[in-house]
Amino acid sequence: MKHRREQRIPKVLRVKVRGVDRNGNSFVQKVHTIDISRCGARLDSLGCLRGAGETIQVQRGWKKAGFRVVWTGQIGLPEQGQVGICCLEPSNYIWGVTIPSAKPETYTTPQTEAAKAEVGIRQVSLPGTLAGGEQRQKVAVERSPSRRRSVRVPLQIPITVRWVAGDGTLQEHQTMTMTINEHGCLVPLKAPVIEGMTLEVTNRSSNEARKGKAIWCGGTSPQGDNQVAIELERAGSEFWGRQYAERARFPDLQDTWVG
């Protein structure tokens, strides 16, 4: 369960968006809002962006402000093409619509529910006393912290990543892993990738290929690389070879993880 800082209201407003698309080209596009709040909004029909972290300019009428993209709809789901944005100029309110007094709004996300499923539960017995003085045991539920599913190792392994872009073209990029575990890896990619996108990863040392998906996309580095976390459909240390097996023999126990 999460809490929004402000209440959102459903409102369709025509706006003009300026920014840079996933191919590095400037664009100006007319779209509409789905809902708005004092500090942000959800826009529809804006699937040309790279992903979260991008900055855009939104204009309504003669008012305009800078916004940061904080969420993008997953491909293949009803939210595809939608983006959540947060205003970078809080004092510059452009919607021109009266919004009710701000009050926190509770909501859940698929990520929230997945996190709950990963959390282990154990029972702790606590002493208690009944009305007649009899002793009883109260059972309290204590949640343990999330743990990564396998050992993460900082290791550079040459891989090739392939995927189908939004325009239907096949993209293929060679890169080196930054960190790996049995379930996936973190890699820098010069081409933009959207969270939820299906990928194919080939270990160039062994020429073995496995399917996976992008589960997290970070910001763009000064070198133009995008950090992408990839989860493999079929886990196994053998995909990464002996180097990973040797490094994983002596894991940092604080880094066992849900990867």
Closest to 232 in 3D by CA, of 160, 184, 198, 200: 184
Measured distance CA(189)–CA(24) in Å, rounded: 14
Q: What is the set of domains in the chain, with CATH numbers?
A: 2-87 (2.40.10.220), 111-143 (no CATH), 150-257 (2.40.10.220)
Specify which residues 18 forms β-bridges with: 28, 57
- Tokens for 87, please give them: 């205003």
pLDDT reported for residue 257: 34
Global confidence as pTM: 0.43
pLDDT reported for residue 126: 42
pLDDT reported for residue 228: 85
Mean pLDDT, 10 residues at a time, over the chain (259 residues)? 63 92 89 89 87 90 91 76 87 86 49 41 42 43 46 86 83 89 87 83 93 79 74 88 78 40
Measured distance CA(152)–CA(148) in Å, rounded: 8
pLDDT reported for residue 169: 82
